[in-house]
Chains A and B, each alone.
Chain A
């Protein structure tokens, strides 16, 4: 299994531009998480999907952020318009919750720099 795949690995964009981060979870996993990691705030949960349905988006910072999961094998996190304070490493993670809850597997992350 290739694990959780995130793209791109690095993204540099100008303030005001739209940014789309992509995630392919592990096949068979039915839960997906998006996290943001910064030095100041640590690892923050942005949104959590279960069976492709957003369950908890209370961590999404503001309306500029949106996330979708159109099917079990793909999710996107979009920032529009982007701002310098959005610079961070964004992680996607997946796991299964059928029966006994499994561990979450993380992607390598997308390092976003907004200039």
Chain B
């Protein structure tokens, strides 16, 4: 079974500041990793994904994440945030084999202050 822990439920930052949203996962098998973003009253959309290869993954809107297998982490970063980045961010894992169900963390609400 897989599980995901997002260490911060809320992260307030000032506009143009850097941000890191933390994600740790637990799994007995190899996994794929994802970050999704949810804007108010909308569904989730993919920011980026790690399937294999380079551990640094670049996504849309200037976000990137780094897969660290030894620390079982997949933290999301952006060097300079904008007001439009205000949203809820979800980390998710899916196993390579077996049920391959997609399990999400509890989400981190990112609030950008002017």
Chain A residues with CB under 8 Å of chain B are: 4, 31, 33, 35, 42-43, 45, 48, 50, 55-56, 91, 93, 95, 97, 100-101, 103-109
Contacts and interface: CB of A to CB of B under 8 A. Distances in A.
Interface residues of B, number: 23
The SS class assigned to the B binding surface is: strand
B88 to A, nearest CB: 9
B43 A55 contact: no
A107 B41 CA distance: 11
The SS class assigned to the A binding surface is: strand
Contacts of B94: 101
Interface centre among B43, B92, B96, B107 (most CB of A within 10 A): B43
B45 A106 contact: yes
Interface in B69-96: 90, 92, 94, 96
Interface string B3-41: 000000000000000000000000000001010100000
Contacts of B105: 42
Given A106-B43, A108-B43, A43 B104 contact: yes
Given A103-B34, A103-B49, A106-B44, A42 B106 contact: yes
Contacts of A95: 102
21 contacts: A4-B43, A33-B101, A35-B104, A42-B107, A43-B44, A43-B90, A43-B104, A43-B106, A45-B101, A50-B99, A55-B101, A56-B99, A93-B44, A101-B32, A101-B100, A103-B49, A104-B34, A105-B46, A106-B44, A108-B43, A109-B42
A103 B46 contact: yes
B57 interface: no
B45 A43 contact: no
